[in-house]
Amino acid sequence: MTGRAGRTVKAGNQASAGDLLELVRSGRATTRGALQQATGLSRATVGQRLDRLFRAGWLREGAGGPVDSPLGGRPSITLEFDDAHAVVLAADLDTRHGRAAVLTLTGEILAEHTGVLVIDEGPETVLGELGRWFAELLEKAGHRAEEVCGIGLAVPGPVDSDTGRVVQPPIMPGWDGYDIRGRLGRAFAEHTGLRTAPGAGATAPGVGGGARTAVPVLVDNDANLMAYGEQRTGYPDCSAFALVKVSTGIGAGMVVGGSIYRGVDGGAGDIGHIRVGADALCRCGSYGCLAAVASGGAVARRLAEAGVPAASGSDVRDLLTSGHPEAMALAREAGRQVGDVLATVVTLLNPGVLMIAGDLAGTPFLTGVRELLYQRALPRSTAHLDVVTSRLGERAGLVGAGALVVEYLYAPERAEERLAALGV
């Protein structure tokens, strides 16, 4: 059977405690009777496996639900994922700023901080500072470092999801192949007092008094995690979702069948480096990239050449907010250039939702995108397409990073491994 994000849930005697947890978390089966029906397990076996989840603190009983039996009787007790047994740390890095937060396991932000973090200063400095932010945020949220079950990080470059390392990032000098997971884990431990294990980052006690286990650090591209956060919270039924982030650079994230689509090595969605025939020099070293002519950085450059103070996509965003006429005109033209490229993306992917996010995601840019997109794409490709702007705004990457950690940790097979490590 299929659970959240197309994930297969085993049936019969093969259904584990992790499979039962997945059914409860996805809302497909939230009573003992419903779990028996969904898996074919006996009442006693369901009870035994649920007992492991209760002892770990991962499940709790809720209010009475529907009556399981067609013969009537008392309402059955519903089962709920207990999001209070741990917290997640998440961060989203841009070229000049960073945002970090403490989140519940269901995505509620408990504490948040935004500040200057210049990606050009390199991973050692940036990740060290991020570790300090995390320690301060935990104190602000009233949680201990030992309650952290995982850390999620969004970065503005392509990421090999197996290793968590960025691969030839155009706008992240000094980060190529760097051990982000290890450094961030150590920085978190240094600022919170947790001890570390070789190669594992920070370590924290297992929930329910078990042995100390590594706090995983997951890293992904920022547009991917923004797309994941937006799709899960606002468009959970959309089977093909695309998000384009236009800030200092340009990138796209895609969620297909409920899962992030990354390509074979994390390079999917790097549309900012599609050649569009211009002669502008891109930060990647090539000429004619879309990002070199239509990103927030490119618009800022053109404004600066015209005597308007602007150095980045965030500066352009401020000018657009104030209604600066030249910034609005250039943003609309940039939108047309991006829309021309997106006509191909839409034809290839056939998404139900195309979301525009980032510093330029306002009316002038969106108008430009729509002008060229609908002009160049076949009507068949756009007949059921909604072109929208971000719902979560600057928090999208944080929400997506937190969700990535939770889905990783509580996936059926990994949940089983963690339960075994906890001794329950």
**278 and 312, same domain (yes or no):** yes
Q: Residue 213's pLDDT is what?
A: 45
**364 and 241, same domain (yes or no):** yes
Q: Which domain holds residue 43?
A: 4-81
**199 and 247, same domain (yes or no):** no
**190 and 255, same domain (yes or no):** no
Neighbours of 78 (CB within 10 A): 17
Q: Residue 284's pLDDT is what?
A: 85
Q: What is the CATH number of the domain that holds 252?
A: 3.30.420.40
What share of the chain has pLDDT > 90, as a percent? 80
**91 and 74, same domain (yes or no):** no
Q: Between these two residues, 72 and 387, which has the higher pLDDT value?
A: 387
pLDDT, one tens digit per residue, over 272-303 is: 999 997 789 888 889 999 999 999 999 999 99
Q: Residue 248's pLDDT is what?
A: 85
**12 and 128, same domain (yes or no):** no
Question: pLDDT tier at 210 (50, 70, 90 boundaries)?
Answer: very low
pLDDT, one tens digit per residue, over 217-271 is: 999 999 999 999 999 999 999 999 999 999 988 999 999 999 999 998 888 999 9
- Total residue length of the chain: 424
In a domain, residue 225? The reply is no
Neighbours of 211 (CB within 10 A): 10
Q: Residue 32's pLDDT is what?
A: 95
Q: Residue 62's pLDDT is what?
A: 86
In a domain, residue 223? The reply is no
Q: Residue 95's pLDDT is what?
A: 87
Residue 8, C-beta contacts closer than 8 angstroms, at least 6 positions apart = 1, 2
**381 and 241, same domain (yes or no):** yes
**147 and 24, same domain (yes or no):** no
From CA 30, how far away is CA 9, in angstroms rounded? 15
**137 and 269, same domain (yes or no):** no
pLDDT, one tens digit per residue, over 354-389 is: 999 999 999 999 999 999 999 999 999 999 999 999
**Average pLDDT of the chain, as a whole number:** 90
Query: pTM of the full predicted structure?
Result: 0.90
Backbone CA torsion sign across 409, 411, 412, 414: negative
Q: Which two tokens stand for residue 43?
A: 């009442």
Q: Which of 63-77, 116-130, 242-256 has the lowest mean pLDDT?
A: 63-77
From CA 259, how far away is CA 5, in angstroms rounded? 6
Question: pLDDT tier at 8 (50, 70, 90 boundaries)?
Answer: low
In a domain, residue 224? The reply is no
pLDDT value at 188 more than 90: yes
How many structural domains compose the chain? 3
Q: What is the CATH number of the domain that holds 36?
A: 1.10.10.10
